[in-house]
């Protein structure tokens, strides 16, 4: 029989779900906290991709009271984050919450669908200024950025043929969990687009993530049609998400 109360799981206990989104959020059990109620699970993850997030999964009947209990415990600065239908139901039940626009979680487990061609590789720490210059030009709103907590060290890129100057394209593994590697910070210089470089950098980082973590994932805006097409061609499955936050 399912519990009718919300309970916190010990940091030393096994995560009570195999959901990839929850596995990602529970990457740091020393800082994050895991709660259950019935068939619902909520993970309070501080500083997850620069925000305090409350990743929730499970049926709305269990998840809504669970989220209420957890927010009372951890504070309203945490943003509920999960499957779109569940967050929509939560917003209906908690009118103070404001929903974000929809976005997607995409993941793959197992072998890569596309093997990298050898043109991309990991960049050394000395490449950080060039990575930052490319992001400033091509993706200034990237959450992943050299020097930011959780997103500063593991950057891959494709350099110009002479090996000098700013990378032509970059991508990072950022905010990774023990069993989920997150692809982030994908950017290609405007002058280098249309040459398949973005596909090759993503194929390389996804293959590295699958080898190291078992599951590779990323977050993508619904309106980014070229990115959605690219990621689907690399074998990632799409899952519609939404987040919510209390009004200031």
Task: Report how far apart, in Å, the C-alpha atoms of 27 and of each of 20, 21, 100, 138, 180 are.
Answer: 11, 10, 24, 29, 8
Q: Indicate whether 126 and 53 sit together in one domain.
A: no
2 within a domain of the structure (yes/no): no
| Confidence grade of residue 4 (pLDDT, cut at 50, 70, 90) | low
Q: Check residue 152 and give its pLDDT.
A: 65
245 within a domain of the structure (yes/no): no
Separation of alpha carbons 185 and 155, rounded Å: 9
Domain extent at residue 200 = 109-239
pLDDT digits (tens, 9 = 90+) for 129-151: 999 999 999 999 999 999 998 87
Q: Indicate whether 211 and 95 sit together in one domain.
A: no
Q: Indicate whether 40 and 120 sit together in one domain.
A: no
Residue at which a domain ends, from 79, 99, 119:
99
Separation of alpha carbons 176 and 244, rounded Å: 23
CA 111 to chain centre: 20
Query: Cβ(34)–Cβ(8) under 8 Å?
Result: yes
% of the chain at pLDDT higher than 70: 98
| Whole-number average pLDDT of the chain | 94
Structurally, how many domains does the chain consist of? 2
Task: Report how far apart, in Å, the C-alpha atoms of 56 and of each of 78, 86, 214 are.
Answer: 12, 9, 22
Q: Indicate whether 113 and 202 sit together in one domain.
A: yes
Q: Check residue 106 and give its pLDDT.
A: 98
Domain with residue 123: its CATH number is: 3.40.630.30
Residue at which a domain ends, from 72, 99, 126:
99
Q: Indicate whether 143 and 229 sit together in one domain.
A: yes
Whose tokens are 């793959």? That residue is 108
Q: What global pTM score does this model have?
A: 0.93
104 within a domain of the structure (yes/no): no
Q: Indicate whether 221 and 189 sit together in one domain.
A: yes
Handedness of CA 164, 169, 148, 26 (dihedral sign): negative
Query: Cβ(182)–Cβ(174) under 8 Å?
Result: yes
pLDDT digits (tens, 9 = 90+) for 188-234: 999 999 999 999 999 999 999 999 999 999 999 999 999 999 999 99
% of the chain at pLDDT higher than 90: 90
């Amino acid at each position: 029989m399912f519990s009718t109360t919300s309970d916190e799981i010990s940091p030393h206990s096994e995560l009570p779900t195999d959901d990839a989104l929850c596995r990602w959020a529970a990457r740091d059990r020393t800082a994050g906290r895991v709660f259950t109620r019935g068939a619902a699970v909520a993970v309070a993850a501080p500083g997850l991709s620069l925000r305090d997030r409350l990743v929730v999964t499970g049926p709305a009947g269990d998840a809504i009271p669970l989220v209420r209990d957890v927010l009372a415990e951890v504070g309203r600065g945490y943003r509920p984050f999960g499957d779109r239908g569940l967050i929509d139901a939560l917003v209906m039940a908690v009118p103070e919450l404001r929903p974000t626009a929809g976005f997607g979680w995409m993941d793959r487990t197992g072998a890569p669908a596309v093997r990298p061609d050898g043109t991309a590789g990991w960049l050394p720490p000395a490449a950080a200024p060039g990575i930052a210059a490319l992001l400033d030009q091509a993706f200034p709103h990237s959450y992943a950025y050299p020097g930011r907590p959780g997103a500063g060290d593991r950057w891959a890129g494709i350099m110009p043929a002479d090996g000098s100057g700013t990378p032509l394209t970059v991508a990072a593994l950022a905010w990774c969990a023990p069993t989920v590697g997150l692809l982030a910070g994908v950017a290609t210089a405007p002058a280098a687009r249309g040459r398949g470089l973005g596909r090759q950098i993503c194929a390389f980082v996804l293959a590295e993530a699958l080898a190291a973590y078992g599951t590779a994932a990323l977050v993508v805006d619904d309106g980014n049609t070229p990115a959605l097409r690219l990621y689907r061609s690399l074998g990632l499955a799409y899952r519609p998400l939404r987040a919510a936050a209390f009004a200031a």
